[in-house]
Amino acid sequence: MKKFLLIGLVGIGSYSLFAQESETLTFEKAVEIGLENNFDVKIATNQVLLTENDRKIATSVLMPTVDLNNSRGYRREDTEQAFVSDPENPRVIPGAQTRTNNYSLVGIYGFSADAVVALQRLGKLAEVSELEAKVVIENTVAAIATAYYRLVLEQQRYEVLNNTLELSNERLEIAKAQYEFGRASKRDFLAAQVDYNADLTALVSQEQVIQNSRVNLNELLAVGPDYDFAVNDTITVQEDLYLGDLKEDAFSNNKTFLVTQRMENVAYLQLKELRAQRLPTITLNGSYNDNQLNSDAGFLLSNQQQGINLGATISLNLFSGLSLNRQIQGAKIQINNQRHLMEQYENQMLSDLQRTFNTYENSKRLLEIEKNNYDVAIENADITLDRFRLGITNYLEFRDAQVNRLQAESRLIESLFTIKENEIELMRLSGKIYFFENAD
């Protein structure tokens, strides 16, 4: 049995936001748990074993069959025999017994060219099954990666909302103090209270989003929905991915593309197998027999035969109602279909790579803009807060600066996640989620 072990997911990054201490469940550990527990992975791995078992069963057609047989018989009869030499005096034997004891060792070997080609076809199907299992594994890793970093994103959003709530609380305390000392109206104080409650509601709602994101990741890891853990709080992204390299890797490593190639080979072998049915079939047979007869009646009181029998048969189908010709025509059509399917997926694969890479490149440009905008929003919020403390800025200007900071932080972490999401998809399409195959 072959195990599929993750040895690398390219994702070493250059920029992170809200970095804190290392958490319990790393991404690598999440993938390890997922590959061990995920039901789709288990089913795909078992399907590989079933296909390999079918291939081994099929090899029996090229092996001889050997049977050992033993048959015994017993009869007890009242017998009356009249002979030509003395018909007037029949011989009467009461309770005449007859015993037979036969041994035979029979071997048969049949050879046909189409059986050899059929084994080649089943070998290709076994390769297809293994590649399809790898597709499932790679898709599972990609799904786990997306769910993992989605949870990181939602936790970062929670931190942003929590910071926003702290600012709203500070504003509320300032507004309350100003109101109590008569430096601000009750309206300003109530407005601060309303904004604080709105920010608190958003924070509580984000807690539910985090819980559901955790459940989604647990489902992919095939653990209970109540399984609790903490994840790392950073999203790291790569600096350089090149479309030319991704395309080159995709033609060599994209498992779905390799499946379409193997299936075209299978279609060719199917045609070759059908054509081979026009060739002669050779059957060889041989047997060793040991037959014994003991009888109280009859011309032979005992008889024993020992010896071998050998034979060979050559058969050639001359006419089968044109069914073989029709099957061959169908096989040729299937070859064309498989070629079209391969070309179709090749076009789809390159299109998906191009679209994802375009989004990836655009997201990288947006990230630089959002980083600059984030710095400006932070500085503006700090200045506005100081001015609000001094009573120079009103609550509307303060709230506007606060919302701008919230939006800038949210867009920044969202752009990071978008880049990471596109990285994962580009690596999946190009076959850059690598696995080490270790045979038991």
Does residue 423 form part of some domain? yes
- 22 pLDDT band, cuts 50/70/90, is very low
- 438 pLDDT band, cuts 50/70/90, is very low
Which is more confident, 12 or 399?
A: 399
Residue carrying structure tokens 């430096």: 183
How high is the pLDDT of residue 61?
76
Q: How many CA atoms lie within 13 A of 55 on its CB side?
A: 19
- 300 pLDDT band, cuts 50/70/90, is low
Residue carrying structure tokens 């037979």: 100
Q: Average pLDDT of 106-110?
A: 84
- 4 pLDDT band, cuts 50/70/90, is very low
**Of 417, 374, 407, residue with least CA distance to 234:** 417
Does residue 392 form part of some domain? yes
- 302 pLDDT band, cuts 50/70/90, is confident
Q: Which DSSP category does 62 fall into?
A: G
The number of folded domains in the chain is 1
Does residue 409 form part of some domain? yes
For residue 352, which amino acid is it? D
Q: Which long-range contacts (CB under 8 A, 24 or more apart) does 330-335 make?
A: 331/267, 331/270, 331/271, 331/274, 332/271, 334/267, 334/270, 334/271, 335/264, 335/267, 335/268, 335/271
Q: Average pLDDT of 168-183?
A: 81
Q: Average pLDDT of 6-10?
A: 31
Does residue 313 form part of some domain? no
For residue 376, which amino acid is it? V
Most confident of 25-39, 72-86, 390-404: 25-39
Does residue 401 form part of some domain? yes
Does residue 254 form part of some domain? yes
The domain spanning residue 254 has which CATH number? 1.20.1600.10
Does residue 211 form part of some domain? yes
**Of 296, 300, 341, 384, residue with least CA distance to 76:** 296
CA angle, 263 then 264 then 265, to 5°: 85
Measured CA to CA, the distance from residue 95 to residue 62 in angstroms comes to 51
Joined tokens for residue 276: 């081979």
Phi-psi region of 307 (alpha: psi -120 to 50; beta: other; left: phi over 0): left
Domain span including residue 418 = 2-64+116-280+322-433
Please state the pTM of the whole predicted model: 0.79
Does residue 99 form part of some domain? no
For 102-136, letters b (16+ CB in 10 Å) and e give eeeeeeeebebbbbebbbebbbbbbbbbbbbbbbb
Measured CA to CA, the distance from residue 115 to residue 109 in angstroms comes to 13
Residue 202 has pLDDT above 50, yes or no: yes
